[in-house]
Amino acid sequence: MTNQKKRGNVREAAVDILLKIEKNQAYSNLLINDTIKKMTVPAIDVPLLTELVYGTVQYQKRLDFYLQAFSKKPLVKLDKWVLVLLRMTVYQLVFLDRIPDHAAINEAVEIAKSRGHKGISGMVNGLLRSMLRGDLPDYHLIEDEVERMAVETSHPEWLLKRWIEQYGKDKARQIATANLATPVQSVRVNKVRISKQEVIALLKEDGLEIEESELIPESLRIKRGSVVKTSAFKQGLVTIQDEGSMLVAKILAPNPTERVLDACAAPGGKSTHLAELMNDTGDIISVDIHAHKVKLIEQQKDRLQLKAIQGMVSDARELKESFPNEQFDKILVDAPCSGLGVIQRKPDLKWSKQSADVNRLAMIQDEILEKVWPLLKKNGRLVYSTCTIDQEENEDVVESFVKRHHDAEFDDTFSERLPELIRDHKEPLTGMVRLFPGEFGTDGFFISSLIKK
């Protein structure tokens, strides 16, 4: 009885989260974390909750393809909560082996009874059981190639068309397929306070299975276990961060005692990495437009016991009002972007973003670069990065900027600071690198380095 109640709770919670994502375009990772913190589900059910939410959102288009074949109504005419309940249940039936089909269906019917009238629970029951008795439709038979790829990889067609136009069909398929894989979990060792070998010992004591990274010397990859519950995390000895994100600070390569601007800094992962690379000396001005996000930077700084960072609330486009020209030795512009390189971790992004968002963000990225450039000293370095793989937000922005500014040039020492593994396997680009999801175990990232003449 107790187990049945817990299982019912976790599916109810998953439906609530999925409904919020569907209605409000809320972020799945934040909603799951919020639900876990509020203890609305037992701790033992947290992995199942995460699986149900991420899996349902990740495979949404494929699930709808299956559902539509058995639904008497167009899916858009179903109540939103009914649609997400059906998607979540079909995800269990098709993709999860460890949950018995009858259990998944029975619990879907119970949720339908508790939220709707008898007719709806009957419809849910009938649709799911007829799906069990019948054969799923075969997406391989879809004639249009892009539509077929969209259903197979569960991505919106506009996004696939964009990637096909920019990188070709094969690469677009590789990107979309990689986005369905489980992302690599990694942590950065706070080498100001502890050695990597000491952290490895601490994490193993707490039961984690880990391995050293081939890309970033201060990174460890987590093969099994939860880092946030370890003593190393609680003591501020490690930071959870993707290795593509770690690479940004490595490319900026700040020296101790330098003055560095992190123009779009929240939640502070790159700022704290910069401080660690500078042995917590010098000045790092970490700016974000939102006050509550600057608090996150301060919290990270305190947790890691770093002193070199100074948080500041400001629009990066208005910093010239606060600082005279040529104030900073180095500047990092980790620009606001569509996030289309981190779909592995945030699958809701592929459903919530549109091409108009990319166009709008590219304009903001361009404005930020334009406004912070005067603050950089001569011979100083500016690194521009995003967690998207869209060329309009990346190559187009920096190439256009360099063309417009006679005192800007691509950094010809850039490749020297790339990890050997990437240098040996990537086609060389002048002063920039793009990382696709799945290539090196990182998120999709773009990093470019400019020098002021």
Q: Can you tell me the distance from the alpha carbon of 285 to that of 86, in angstroms, rounded to the nearest whole number?
A: 48
Q: Can you tell me the distance from the alpha carbon of 188 to that of 221, in angstroms, rounded to the nearest whole number?
A: 9
Retrieve residue 150's tokens: 């969209």
171-205 burial string, b = 16+ CB within 10 Å, else e? ebbbbbebbbeebbbbbbbbebbbebeebbebbee
Q: Is the dihedral of CA 334, 335, 339, 340 positive or negative?
A: negative
Which is the catalytic residue, given 277, 387, 447, 450?
387
- Return the residue matching tokens 């004591």: 205
- Other C-beta atoms within 10 Å of 256: how many? 11
Retrieve residue 420's tokens: 């050997």
Q: Which residues contact 214 (CB under 8 A, 6 or more apart)?
A: 419, 421
Q: Which residues contact 19 (CB under 8 A, 6 or more apart)?
A: 80, 81, 84
- Give the containing element (helix H, strand E) for 61: helix 60-68
Q: What angle do CA 114, 116, 119 make, to 5 degrees?
A: 120
Q: Which residues contact 157 (CB under 8 A, 6 or more apart)?
A: 146, 147, 150
Alpha-helical regions (H) of 262-374: 269-277, 291-304, 349-352, 355-372
Q: Can you tell me the distance from the alpha carbon of 421 to that of 256, in angstroms, rounded to the nearest whole number?
A: 27
In angstroms, the Cα distances linking 260 to 267, 282, 288, 310 are: 17, 8, 15, 10
Q: Is the dihedral of CA 353, 356, 359, 364 positive or negative?
A: negative
Confirm whether 264 is a catalytic residue: no
3-state secondary structure of 45: helix
DSSP conformational letter for 164: H
Is there a contact between 372 and 333 (Cβ–Cβ < 8 Å)?
Answer: yes
Q: Please provide the DSSP assignment of 380-406 as one string.
A: EEEEEEES---GGGTHHHHHHHHHH-T
Retrieve residue 410's tokens: 């691509």
Catalytic residues: 387
